[in-house]
Structure 1
Amino acid sequence: MEWLTKFPQLDDQYLSPIKRGIDTEFRMFTRTFGDSIESFFSPLQSLLIFFENFMTSTPWPIIVLGLGAISWLATRSFKVVAGCTLALLAIGFLGMWEDTMKTISLILVCTFFSIAIGLPIGIVMSRSQRFQATVQPILDVMQTMPPFVYLIPVVMLLGIGRVPGFIAVVIYAVPPIIRLTNLGIRLVDKEVLEAADAYGCSKWQKLVKVQLPLALPTIMAGINQTIMMALGMVVIAAMIGVQGLGQTVLQAIANQYFASGILSGFAIVGIAIIFDRVSQTYGRRLQRHRGGSHD
């Protein structure tokens, strides 16, 4: 009965050559095309460096006033603006301003690219059932596969640094904006679409003037989730050389700096609260306008 306790599997003498063959082929691929791939991503590297330098070199009062103004324009809420301002000031007083700015710069670029990638895919998914059936399993894999797994090929191709961290964050953070863009467009009232058709709207006009505006609150919820998931990748991205608060957390773990690690963690939470409150409040404002009320 011993065979009942052991799961049948391929003999190692057959499986090991397959593994070695795959590893060898991938190493040959990286040696052959590695330089070309790095040159392809060099503009992205320059963009990430530019945003990081901009955020770290801009005087802190300008950053605080700028983010406060963006918060006010998005939320029209003094409470949210005051909370964002106090959180940024507290981070600065605790000596984590530069690391925080590096983290914010990465999150902003990753969010922008996630929206640029996810919005069109979500729109196409909402229009094609076949495309949705194809993309849905891919999104499931992207969200459930541990980030360390897809970090392996990225690091082998591009080494360590900003670009691999950016790719890892985008892969992890882009599914929510795709899913909720698709969902928001599909939930648009069919009677409204029929009215648009009756007025002779083309497919493009119907998308831009009817479906996207009505789906915008749901899309904003997707952007909110994308930002939160990007922030969740900060520490993991630090393992492959991305500077910022995540690197401080890793150093605290390695050297058992309890206070430093806790403060860095609170700084990450502070950034998350800022982005979450601003995006959620903006989404609620859009929802109220959708219902016909005004601030």
Structure 2
Amino acid sequence: MDLVDFPSMSRGDLRDMRIAIDTAFRDFTRAYGDTLESIFHPIQVLLVFIEDLLIDAPWIVVLAGLAGLVWALGRSWKIVAGTVIALLLIGYFGMWEDTMRTIAMVAVCTLIAVVIGIPVGILMARSDRANGVITPILDMMQTMPSFVYLIPVVMIFGLGKVPGVIAVVIYAVPPIIRLTNLGIRQVPADVLEAAEAFGSSAGQKLREVQLPLALPTIMAGVNQTIMMSLAMVVVASMIGVRGLGQPVLQAINNQYFTLGVMNGLAIVAIAIIFDRSTQAYGKRLQRHLEAQHG
């Protein structure tokens, strides 16, 4: 078949359809934009609070607090030492404030993704119908170019922190949903049968058997969500999200090689810290569970 003869919508009809959809979306944002902004205002309050806490507190206190958190997760002096060295270098090269803003953004986005993702993952694990409906949505969310997420949130909320958080959460939430679903489904059937033999209800099996055994897999999902949140930082800087992404964007626009590389390396350092800490915590959980059940 000649490509010219391929049946398709006429250009006029296609243009009219696009105009109708764009007009309807603009009308929606004008009618409900203020309401949606008020709904998401607590997110901005939380993000600003964490940012101010990390930036205004003495750097040595923040450094000690982050090192303590890394120790609590990984119980590894090597990871703690690497964290301290990386943060000291970040501060020495003048990237401390932007790094704290990025850490605050990733913390808030990860918290929201976990609050949304774990219940959705549980729903998928308990219902094959829900699994069949939600899985294609997750596939679309993970394959959609990240820049596309910026269009609707900017049209509704404008530029700033809240649209950045929403775009990052949409981009980063699929791994925690998928791995929560996977972890619960991989709980051995004989363990569930033993729980049923002891008279456990469905809720008790979920709380006392399935979630504890699935926790290492869920933590792997949290790890991937953090990594994807950091990957979205540079993209979110295009809509006014302050942090390490803005200097990278500035370096791209002005061809500042050193500025881009330095801030890029700072993002890499934060990613490695989060990755090693959460992975170490997941391994500790795995060993603990194996000791309990082995």
> 2:46 aligned with 1:58, yes or no?
no
> Counterpart of 2:104?
105
Alpha-carbon distance, 1:153 to partner: 1.1
Q: After superposition, what is the alpha-carbon deviation per residue over 1:138-182, rounded to whole angstroms, capped at 9, x for unaligned?
A: 111111111222211110000010000000000010000000001
> 2:6 aligned with 1:20, yes or no?
no
Q: Determine the C-alpha separation between the residues in 2 that align with 1:45 and 1:149.
A: 22
> Counterpart of 1:174?
173
> Counterpart of 1:219?
218
SS in structure 2 of the partner of residue 292 of structure 1: helix
Q: Determine the C-alpha separation between the residues in 1 that align with 2:210 and 2:158.
A: 42
Alpha-carbon distance, 1:9 to partner: 2.2
Alpha-carbon distance, 1:227 to partner: 0.3
Q: Determine the C-alpha separation between the residues in 1 that align with 2:224 and 2:27.
A: 38
More displaced stretch, 94-103 vs 139-148: 139-148
> Counterpart of 2:234?
235
Matches of residues 1-295 of structure 1 in structure 2 within 5 Å? 3-4=2-3, 7-292=6-291
Q: After superposition, what is the alpha-carbon deviation per residue over 1:226-284, rounded to whole angstroms, capped at 9, x for unaligned?
A: 00000000000000000000001011111221111100000000000000000001111
More displaced stretch, 168-177 vs 203-212: 203-212
Please list every run of 5 or more consecutive structure 1 residues that lacks an aligned counterpart in the other structure: none
Q: Determine the C-alpha separation between the residues in 2 that align with 1:185 and 1:132.
A: 13
SS in structure 2 of the partner of residue 41 of structure 1: helix
Please list every run of 5 or more consecutive structure 2 residues that lacks an aligned counterpart in the other structure: none
Aligned AA for 1:185?
A: I
Q: Determine the C-alpha separation between the residues in 2 that align with 1:257 and 1:15.
A: 42
Alpha-carbon distance, 1:97 to partner: 0.2
4+ aligned runs moved over 6 Å, structure 1: none
Alpha-carbon distance, 1:4 to partner: 3.8
Q: Determine the C-alpha separation between the residues in 1 that align with 2:286 and 2:226.
A: 20
Shift in alpha-carbon separation, 1:29–1:4, aligned structure 2, 3 A: closer
More displaced stretch, 164-173 vs 146-155: 146-155
Q: Determine the C-alpha separation between the residues in 2 that align with 1:286 and 1:40.
A: 36
Q: Determine the C-alpha separation between the residues in 2 that align with 1:194 and 1:235.
A: 48
Alpha-carbon distance, 1:8 to partner: 3.6
Q: CA RMSD in A?
A: 1.3
Q: Determine the C-alpha separation between the residues in 1 that align with 2:171 and 2:12.
A: 36
Using structure 1 for the length normalisation, give the TM-score. 0.96
Aligned AA for 1:124?
A: L
Q: Determine the C-alpha separation between the residues in 2 that align with 1:7 and 1:164.
A: 40
Number of positions where the alignment pairs a residue of Structure 1 with one of Structure 2 = 292
More displaced stretch, 100-109 vs 31-40: 31-40
More displaced stretch, 45-54 vs 3-12: 3-12
Alpha-carbon distance, 1:6 to partner: 6.2
Alpha-carbon distance, 1:54 to partner: 1.1
SS in structure 2 of the partner of residue 242 of structure 1: coil
